[in-house]
Structure 1
Amino acid sequence: MTSQEKSVRVRLAPSPTGFLHIGTARTALFNWLFARKHKGVFVLRIEDTDRDRSKKEYEQDIFEGLAWLGLTWDEGPIPGAPTYRGSSGPYRQSERGATYKKYLELLLEEKRAYFCYCTKEELEAERQTMLGQGLPPKYGGHCRELRSRPPGKKPEVIRFKTPESRVEFKDVIRGKVEFDASTFGDIVIAKDLESPLYNFAAVVDDYEMRITHVIRGEDHISNTPKQILLQKALNFPDVIYAHLPLILNPDRTKLSKRYNEMSLLEYRKEGYLPAALVNFLALLGWHSEGDQEIFTLKELIREFDIKRVQKAGAAFNLEKLDWLNKEYLKNLSTDEIVDTLIPFLEAKRLGPSREFLSKIVEVERSRMKNLNNFFEIAGFFFALPDYDPLLLVWQKEPASKTKVILKGILEIIDRIKSKTLSRTVLAEALADLAEKEGRGPVFWPLRVAVSGQRASPDPLEIIETLGYEETRRRIETAIKKIDRK
């Protein structure tokens, strides 16, 4: 039975040596979509063999980030529990030592691998010699045919006897890919029987966990021929590979460190919706048959085809994410937006009533890019920012006239305070003053007085939201500012 005929099994295999970042999240999404599309299994495997750099806090960040995106795994660690979900565990490499040792001993027994006694100093001297001769550096194979340990030496590493042949494989995204294995030298597959290295451990785990498709970043493509050679040496079945394009800056340069290493959960802190981020990640290298850009998770599962992933690098465009997030916010009800804003308010120690917050959302939702941006554009509702008195003055109007107009507005508001200060009522009440003095001289200082800003929503909407008492206080503050100028 070929890999294509088997039930699809894919894996995400992050190393907990750093936070879950945008690249790994994109890889997770494409694997998850592929598994769901083909009614397969999505496995989460933690590659924590680097004991010095692996940390539980990074592992927890991976779990939390995937859960936030809604990318649940079918097999793998259970967060907060010592047990696993699935029958192919354990799903942490640090707990799979006996399995790796078994296959290392098999390769040694079959003379497909050997202990290497060359020291770091000897290897560096060999490397410099080859570079001096204009040759690509590789291990010269000094220990390849040794029958016994050299006197006074101890094993440094275990090497695989790399066949000097061409390795070909068909990448689902890139088509035919070829490598000349003779340039590799005999690759190191373990430090010792207890300490396998990445390529060897990944091959063994993929076999033991019955992985059929390996979907990962283009930066791993140089590992693929080495893994294929190890699979053949161990008589493992073929795996189907698909290498995703690199994620680049908008100018096609290498993705900046800020985005490449930033935890995915930072996007949550910045107020992005998980559905918008999933949509954004899906478009980093993949496109549908049509020109649709906004997808629900169900639509992504239905539309996703790994063959429509591009080969060229995918541009990381934060403006596109902002646009998508804004579109998703438009589709949320006011109550849903309020629910998502409450944790942000609590973090800023703000506790407005739900009714007041709902009114603000109604006014500001068209300007919102993300939940954090809400406080940049709507913060003046909670506290009037300090502003220069000169900002109150319309163009070349004298400040004394601005003061008179603001006093006139205050008198009008006082007259209608018994009524609801709705936008309609306010517009009618201010119509005569605006016709007499001009809209600019009336509504510009009113906008600044109630918002403290040059740009804001309609000042009448702001007044309707703030209510009579707060509006009156702010206009009085503006008049006093002019007096002190």
Structure 2
Amino acid sequence: MIADGSKKPIRIRFAPSPTGPLHIGSARTTLFNWLFAKQHNGRFILRVDDTDTERSKPEYEQNIIAGLKWLELNWDEGPDIGGSYGPYRQSERLDIYEKYLRRLLDENKAYYCFCSKEELEEERKAMLSQGLSPKYSGKCRNLSKEESGKQIERGDSSVIRFKTPPKEVEFNDLIRGKIKFDASLIGDIVIAKNLREPLYNFATPIDDFEMKITHIIRGEDHLPNTPKQILIQEAFNFNEIKYAHLPLILAPDRSKLSKRYLETSLNDYRLNGYLPETIVNFLALLGWHPEDDQEILNLQELIQKFNLKKIQKAGAIFNIEKLEWLNAQYIKKTDSVELAEKIKDFIPENWQTKKDLLVKTIEAEKERMKTLADFKELADFFFELPDYEPSILKWQEMENEKIAANLKLLRTELENIDGMNFNKDNLEKIIMPLTEVWGRGELLWPLRAALSGKRASPGPFEIMEILGEQETLKRLDTAITKLS
């Protein structure tokens, strides 16, 4: 049942144009459509709007499909799985559009326009000079079909225009409330280059009707398209569709995020080590929030709590710090064995052969990770001790001789521990009493630095347990040698 109480099953679609990679804005639109469909036991349809033949590319379609699958936003009908209302690529539906275009022409609701680009540009300049919004003058509107036919036979360049009725278009946006447009300001819009090349604002309402779409949720940048598409629907006496226009996603300086910039490509975030669960959670909070202001929500929780009425009208600010924080939370929550699988693309192959060491290392480091890509730099010393300067072993003003003596003391204690007892808890019990005599920083700083070769790392007891007794003693010997 749909939100207004009728029994018509909800059918909702995401219809990307494959003219570039999937970006954050489109991914959020998909998520909100998907959640709405799931909430109302509806059907979620993926349709590829590839009427822009010059810019549409198969690799972009593949990128979009792969990105949505990565987010686990699967569809019930689409170009890859079919369905009852296919085909699901506009480029494969040209016969359908031609049928409807001919109908408009036959009913005198559309016409061929032969105006040149130069003529149209002159018209535009003339209207602007008078302080008017540019629109087509209607010069070819009243050409007879006979005259149009002759010009087409001569091969004159033409497009097909829709006869826009001079009326007010009004609809109730599910987010923004009542919206009105004065269609007389739009003019007669171009709906096709010819019978086999429809444009977006014609093909879209045709497909929405043919596929029995009930709701359209999309970005507010589509608001100017909505009255045009409603007028096409009315010309054919199509069923009314309910609209919801999402707020734009804005950069921190409140400018619009562009899908043409690499940094907003969804794949870019995947390659930088963000988890799909993070992205879904983050996208959901771009312009919407649950009533209880819960910040960490998985897909099932989102299905339960999502509400179109809670979507804000104002632009949503893209906050990279919030994204990093969320990702860190999800990394901490994820089981280390599962993370070992997810992290494969971010580490050397030889690390992957040391599965036990890898899992233990992830367990030690995941509290400090913001992205999966962080792991390699944080954890490399577990797999190979870096060459380091002896100065990092120094605690405050300690002399090298004293540092070496402390490390030798620690080595003696450590080599007497049975391998079975070489674990964090037991190591703490043996070493910590020594710090009361020789100083906490004086013992633990050089120990930790010797084990990691870094100024910052997990604590020495966690490191020793993961490295094991032999590697621990070997690294202490290396440090002592460096100090001599």
User: Cα distance, 1:102 vs. partner?
Assistant: 0.7
Q: How does 1:317-332 map to 2 (within 5 A)?
A: 317-332=319-334
TM-score (norm: length of structure 1):
0.92
Q: Which amino acid aligns with 1:429?
A: I
Q: Do residues 128 (structure 1) and 129 (structure 2) align?
A: no
Structure 1's 260 and 249: CA in aligned 2 closer, same or farther, altered over 3 A? Answer: farther
Residue in 1 aligned with 2:356?
355
Residue in 2 aligned with 1:305?
307
CA distance in 2 between partners of 1:185 and 1:380 (Å): 68
User: Cα distance, 1:440 vs. partner?
Assistant: 1.1
Structure 1's 339 and 260: CA in aligned 2 closer, same or farther, altered over 3 A? Answer: closer
Residue in 2 aligned with 1:272?
274
Residue in 2 aligned with 1:185?
187
CA distance in 2 between partners of 1:129 and 1:320 (Å): 49
User: Cα distance, 1:379 vs. partner?
Assistant: 2.1
User: Cα distance, 1:170 vs. partner?
Assistant: 0.8
> Does 410-419 or 164-173 show the bigger shift?
410-419
SS of residue paired to 1:325: helix
User: Cα distance, 1:228 vs. partner?
Assistant: 0.8
Residue in 1 aligned with 2:196?
194
User: Cα distance, 1:75 vs. partner?
Assistant: 1.0
Residue in 1 aligned with 2:78?
76
**Contact 1:27–1:215, Cα closer than 8 Å, also in 2:** yes
The two structures, once aligned, show a CA RMSD in angstroms of 2.3
Q: Do residues 288 (structure 1) and 290 (structure 2) align?
A: yes
> Does 336-345 or 377-386 show the bigger shift?
336-345
Q: Which amino acid aligns with 2:311?
A: V
Q: Which amino acid aligns with 2:425?
A: T
SS of residue paired to 2:226: helix
CA distance in 1 between partners of 2:377 and 2:182 (Å): 56
**1:222-254 Cα distance to aligned partner (Å, 9 max, x none):** 100111111111211111000011111234332
**Contact 1:115–1:155, Cα closer than 8 Å, also in 2:** no
Residue in 2 aligned with 1:468?
469
**Contact 1:156–1:192, Cα closer than 8 Å, also in 2:** yes
CA distance in 2 between partners of 1:229 and 1:285 (Å): 29
SS of residue paired to 1:73: coil
**Contact 1:364–1:378, Cα closer than 8 Å, also in 2:** yes
Residue in 2 aligned with 1:154?
156
Structure 1's 419 and 42: CA in aligned 2 closer, same or farther, altered over 3 A? Answer: closer
Residue in 2 aligned with 1:388?
389
Among 120, 140, 144, the residue aligned to 1:143: 140
> Does 247-256 or 20-29 show the bigger shift?
247-256
SS of residue paired to 2:421: coil
CA distance in 2 between partners of 1:395 and 1:457 (Å): 20
CA distance in 2 between partners of 1:163 and 1:379 (Å): 68
**1:452-480 Cα distance to aligned partner (Å, 9 max, x none):** 22221111110111112222222222233
User: Cα distance, 1:304 vs. partner?
Assistant: 1.5
CA distance in 1 between partners of 2:471 and 2:172 (Å): 69
Residue in 1 aligned with 2:440?
439
User: Cα distance, 1:374 vs. partner?
Assistant: 2.1
CA distance in 2 between partners of 1:446 and 1:335 (Å): 28
User: Cα distance, 1:435 vs. partner?
Assistant: 2.7
**1:87-107 Cα distance to aligned partner (Å, 9 max, x none):** 111100001001101111111
SS of residue paired to 1:159: strand
Structure 1's 237 and 222: CA in aligned 2 closer, same or farther, altered over 3 A? Answer: same
Q: How does 1:46-57 map to 2 (within 5 A)?
A: 46-57=48-59
Residue in 2 aligned with 1:113?
110
Residue in 1 aligned with 2:240?
238
> Does 52-61 or 191-200 show the bigger shift?
52-61
Give the gaps of 5 or more residues in structure 2: none
Q: Do residues 104 (structure 1) and 104 (structure 2) align?
A: no
> Does 177-186 or 265-274 show the bigger shift?
265-274
SS of residue paired to 1:215: strand
SS of residue paired to 1:285: coil
User: Cα distance, 1:30 vs. partner?
Assistant: 0.7
CA distance in 1 between partners of 2:345 and 2:431 (Å): 38
User: Cα distance, 1:213 vs. partner?
Assistant: 0.4
CA distance in 2 between partners of 1:36 and 1:132 (Å): 51
**Contact 1:117–1:153, Cα closer than 8 Å, also in 2:** no
Residue in 1 aligned with 2:402?
401
CA distance in 1 between partners of 2:75 and 2:2 (Å): 24
> Does 285-294 or 166-175 show the bigger shift?
285-294
Residue in 2 aligned with 1:81?
none
CA distance in 2 between partners of 1:139 and 1:394 (Å): 78
**1:413-460 Cα distance to aligned partner (Å, 9 max, x none):** 233365532223323433454233311121111111111222211111
Q: Do residues 33 (structure 1) and 63 (structure 2) align?
A: no
User: Cα distance, 1:257 vs. partner?
Assistant: 6.2
**1:77-123 Cα distance to aligned partner (Å, 9 max, x none):** 12xxxxx5211111000010011011111111111111110111111
CA distance in 2 between partners of 1:204 and 1:418 (Å): 73
How many pairs does the alignment contain? Answer: 477
SS of residue paired to 2:170: strand
CA distance in 1 between partners of 2:371 and 2:473 (Å): 31
CA distance in 2 between partners of 1:85 and 1:370 (Å): 36
**Contact 2:11–2:37, Cα closer than 8 Å, also in 1:** yes
Q: Which amino acid aligns with 1:306?
A: L
SS of residue paired to 1:411: helix
Q: Which amino acid aligns with 1:168?
A: E
**Contact 1:403–1:482, Cα closer than 8 Å, also in 2:** yes
CA distance in 1 between partners of 2:291 and 2:112 (Å): 52
% identity of equivalent residues: 56
**Contact 1:19–1:262, Cα closer than 8 Å, also in 2:** no
Q: Which amino acid aligns with 2:386?
A: P
Q: Which amino acid aligns with 1:387?
A: Y
SS of residue paired to 2:313: coil
CA distance in 2 between partners of 1:209 and 1:448 (Å): 64
**Contact 2:346–2:376, Cα closer than 8 Å, also in 1:** no
**Contact 2:281–2:297, Cα closer than 8 Å, also in 1:** yes
**Contact 1:284–1:316, Cα closer than 8 Å, also in 2:** yes
CA distance in 1 between partners of 2:186 and 2:316 (Å): 29
Give the gaps of 5 or more residues in structure 1: 79-83
